[in-house]
Structures are given as C-alpha cells and as structure tokens.
C-alpha cells in the first residue's frame, strides 16, 4: 500500500515513516520543510534500507497534492503537517488557522478529487482544554485555550462533518499526549529549529550544555511536587500506534477519535531527575511563573486504543530519557 505522510520530515512524521515502511508499505513524504530538514529523508532511507520518495510541497497547494496522490497511487494519508507552537499561535492566529485548518481543507479536497478516502490525523490532548476529570477519555468535552488548540478542534470537527456527509470515508483522529524520545538507532529524534517548545528536547539541550538552564513554569500547581503532570509517550510507541490505526482504517468506516498516551503521568521535576540519572549530566533549572492556559495535570485513559486498535504503549520513562540522550550525543558527533 502507498501511504502519503504530510509533515513527513518532522519529528513525529519521520518516526511514523520508519514504522510504517518496515511493515512493507511504500512511503511518500510531503513537507514544505518549514520546521524540518531534508537530511532526515536520507536517515529514514538508511534505517529502512531502501530509498523513498520526498516531495517538497505545501499542504495548501491542492494541485500539487492531487498530482502526488495520483502519481504514487496513494491509498491512505497520514496528516501530520501543521504549526504546533502554542505561544506562537497566540501571536499569529491567522498563520495557525491558515496553515492548519485551510491546509487540511486543501488536503481533503485533493483526496476527494482523487478518490482517496482514508486519513489518519495528528490531533492532540490539547483539545480537552482544562480537564474536568482524569484520566482523560475520548468522551471528555472539547475546549481550547489557544488558537493552536482551537485549530485542532476545528479540524476534528470538519473531518467528522466530511465522514457524516459521505460514509465511504474512514478517519482516525489520534489525540497524542506528550511524544518524547528518539528512534532506537539514535539517528532520528526531536531536533527542533530554534528554541524547543517541548520539555524533553529542552532538558536534553541543557544537559548537553547548549543552554544554560531550564525554565520550569510554575511550582504551585495542585500536584505532589507543585509542577505540572504530563503523560509522556515514547515516540516509537506513538509511531507503532499509527501503524495500528492504518490497519484499523482498512476494516472500518466513519470518524474515530482515539487517545495515544500511556496513562502514567510524570511531573516536570520527575522528568528532570530521571534525565539526570540516565545521562549523568546536570540539568540546572529555575522556577518561573505559570504560563497562561497551562493545566496542572493531563494524562490519558488509553483503554480505547487498546480495545479498538489492539495497541498499548510498551516503553517506559527510562527508555525515553536514554534514547533522547543517545540521540543528542549522536547529533553532536555528526555536527563535529
Ligand atoms: N510534538 C508534540 O508534542 C505534538 C503533540 C500533539 C500533536 N502534535 C501534532 O503532530 C503533528 C506533527 O508534530 P511534530 O512534533 O512532528 O512537529 P514538526 O514541526 O516536527 O513536524 C511538522 C511538519 O510539518 C511541516 N509543515 C508545517 N506546515 C506545513 C505545510 N503548510 N505544508 C507542508 N508541510 C508543513 C513542517 O515542516 C514539519 O516538518 C503536528 O500536527 C502537531 O500539531 C504534536
């Protein structure tokens, strides 16, 4: 089967590409490289042991998408392309709605025109907003505290409307919790352009001495040590969750929202201590004020993924920290 991955050279896309290619599928990566590097294509090819197709393009270019779907006989799309920085979305909401929502409409139009009716969408636990109960299951109400979060809700809703309008569509919205860690070869991992938005790459860069210290936003939450609790999921578990979702779409129709998380939360201080213990490097930090919109705790009820996809996360926090650290060291070697 031929699978198109929008945002395929990004952090999550590159790991999904490897997991899916290793099942024998043909992979086409489609990305405008606004937040990734073409070099990852070579790394994926090296890991899977065969070449793959990369198209440099924007998801708002419906014509190029149509040509790509047709030329490669694409059967399923994994739609990961999007802007993802919460703070930036507050400053530039039009860019976020334009890129994420308009981009998805363009992709869906191209798929409709080419008769491709199966899509896996990268949604996020951010769609649950302020939790009313924990752990979060898929029946929890949706709300958002940023244009980024709202763009994910808008996309989920437009995908649901499409599925209702035409029952031949099969759509899975995977609500990721906090992806972290790197591929087992340590050739690929989270290597963001500019300042990292996520905790794990930030901790890793401090441990490597690339940044002086980590800023911990708030130590007065209602949690055991006062710092925020999150559900960190190993990137390879997440990638395998996509492989399971692709299989599920093969035999199901309609619209489905499914959490991909572990159900096991860790605080920011626990993450720092775990990383220090695995790496042997110090991670200096300072406490600053809470960021607007940050919630005390956010973690998944992952039962639906288990029952519907037959998937559950297998890797632990130590493996997340170890792979992140080894990836950072491999990266430093490469750049020498
Ligand atoms: N990383 C996380 O913590 C997290 C959590 C929940 C959901 N998500 C979602 O998962 C998806 C992938 O996230 P990621 O962490 O790999 O981010 P990433 O920035 O590493 O990857 C996204 C990719 O999309 C590309 N892209 C952006 N706009 C595009 C456009 N208009 N046309 C073509 N390509 C475009 C970027 O160049 C990048 O390679 C995103 O949709 C993100 O919102 C991520």
Whose alpha carbon is nearest atom 12 of ligand 1?
80
Dist. CA 177 → ligand 1 center (Å): 14
| Cβ of residue 35 lying under 6 Å from some atom of ligand 1 | yes
Q: How many domains does the chain have?
A: 1
Whose alpha carbon is nearest atom 21 of ligand 1?
10
10 Å CB burial of residue 224 (0-12, 13-18, 19+) is exposed
| Cβ of residue 135 lying under 6 Å from some atom of ligand 1 | no
The number of the ligand 1 atom at minimal distance from the alpha carbon of 60 is: 31
- pTM for this prediction: 0.98
| Cβ of residue 179 lying under 6 Å from some atom of ligand 1 | yes
d(CA 108, CA 111): 5
Residue 246 lies in a domain: yes
10 Å CB burial of residue 126 (0-12, 13-18, 19+) is buried
Dist. CA 277 → ligand 1 center (Å): 30
| Cβ of residue 259 lying under 6 Å from some atom of ligand 1 | no
**CB 178, CB 232: distance < 8 Å:** yes
**CB 3, CB 28: distance < 8 Å:** yes
Q: What is the pLDDT of residues 146-191, one digit of tens each?
A: 999 999 999 999 999 999 999 999 999 999 999 999 999 999 999 8
Domain limits for position 36 = 2-181+233-262
User: Across-strand partners of 54?
Assistant: 29
| Cβ of residue 79 lying under 6 Å from some atom of ligand 1 | no
From 9, 36, 80, mutation site for ligand 1 pocket: most ligand atoms within 8 A of C-beta? 80
Dist. CA 49 → ligand 1 center (Å): 25
Q: How many CB atoms lie within 10 A of CB 25?
A: 16
292, pLDDT greater than 90: no
Q: Which band of pLDDT confidence, cut at 50, 70 and 90, is reported for residue 224?
A: very high
Whose alpha carbon is nearest atom 26 of ligand 1?
81
Residue 125 lies in a domain: yes
Q: What is the pLDDT of residues 101-139, one digit of tens each?
A: 999 999 999 999 999 999 999 999 999 999 999 999 999
- Quick one: pLDDT at residue 145? 87
Active site residue 97: no
Residue 36 lies in a domain: yes
| Cβ of residue 36 lying under 6 Å from some atom of ligand 1 | yes
Residue 169 lies in a domain: yes
Sheet holding 254-260, edge to edge: 53-56, 26-31, 2-6, 76-79, 118-124, 170-176, 254-260
Torsions phi, psi of 160, nearest 5? -65, -45
Helix (H, G, I), strand (E, B) or coil at 25: coil
**Average pLDDT over every residue of 227-236:** 98
Residue 252 lies in a domain: yes
Residue 222 lies in a domain: no
Where are the strands (E) in the chain, listed by range? 2-6, 26-31, 53-56, 76-79, 118-124, 170-176, 178-180, 214-217, 229-230, 232-234, 254-260, 266-267, 285-288, 297-298
The number of the ligand 1 atom at minimal distance from the alpha carbon of 36 is: 39
d(CA 43, CA 290): 38
**CB 5, CB 30: distance < 8 Å:** yes
Q: What is the CATH number of the domain that holds 121?
A: 3.40.50.720
Residue 60 lies in a domain: yes
Q: How many Å separate Cα 276 from the centre of its chain? A: 25
Dist. CA 79 → ligand 1 center (Å): 9
d(CA 35, CA 108): 22
Dist. CA 84 → ligand 1 center (Å): 6
**CB 124, CB 152: distance < 8 Å:** yes
Give the largest Cα separation in the chain, rounded.
Answer: 55
Residue 310 lies in a domain: no
The number of the ligand 1 atom at minimal distance from the alpha carbon of 179 is: 3
Mean pLDDT (the chain) is: 96
**CB 135, CB 300: distance < 8 Å:** yes
């Amino acid at each position: 089967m031929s699978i198109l991955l929008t945002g395929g050279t990004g952090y999550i896309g590159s790991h999904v590409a490897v997991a899916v290619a290793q099942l024998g599928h043909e992979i086409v990566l489609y990305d405008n490289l606004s937040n990734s590097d073409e070099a990852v294509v070579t790394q994926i090819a090296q890991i899977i042991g065969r070449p793959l197709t990369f198209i440099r393009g924007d998801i708002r270019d419906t014509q190029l998408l149509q040509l790509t779907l047709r030329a490669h006989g694409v059967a399923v799309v994994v739609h990961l392309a999007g802007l993802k920085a919460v703070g930036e979305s507050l400053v530039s909401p039009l860019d976020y709605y334009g890129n994420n929502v308009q981009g998805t409409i363009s992709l869906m139009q191209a798929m409709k025109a080419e008769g491709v009716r199966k899509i896996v969408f990268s949604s996020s636990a951010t769609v649950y907003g302020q939790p009313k109960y924990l752990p979060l299951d898929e029946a929890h109400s949706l709300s958002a505290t940023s244009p980024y979060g709202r763009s994910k809700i808008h996309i989920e809703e437009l995908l649901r409307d499409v599925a209702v309008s035409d029952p031949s569509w099969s759509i899975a919205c995977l609500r990721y919790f906090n992806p972290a860690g790197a591929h087992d070869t340590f050739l690929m991992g989270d290597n963001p352009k500019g300042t990292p938005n996520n905790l794990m790459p930030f901790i890793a860069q401090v441990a490597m001495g690339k940044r002086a210290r980590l800023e911990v936003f708030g130590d007065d939450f209602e949690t055991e040590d006062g710092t925020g609790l999150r559900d960190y999921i190993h990137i390879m578990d997440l990638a395998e969750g996509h492989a399971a979702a692709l299989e599920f779409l093969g035999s199901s129709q309609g619209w489905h929202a499914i959490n991909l998380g572990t159900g096991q939360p860790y605080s920011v201080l626990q993450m720092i201590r775990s990383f220090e213990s695995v790496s042997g490097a110090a991670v200096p930090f300072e406490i600053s004020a809470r960021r607007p919109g940050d919630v005390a705790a956010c973690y998944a009820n992952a039962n639906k993924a288990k029952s519907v996809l037959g998937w559950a996360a297998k890797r632990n926090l130590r493996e997340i920290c170890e792979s992140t650290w080894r990836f950072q060291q491999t990266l430093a070697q490469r750049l020498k």
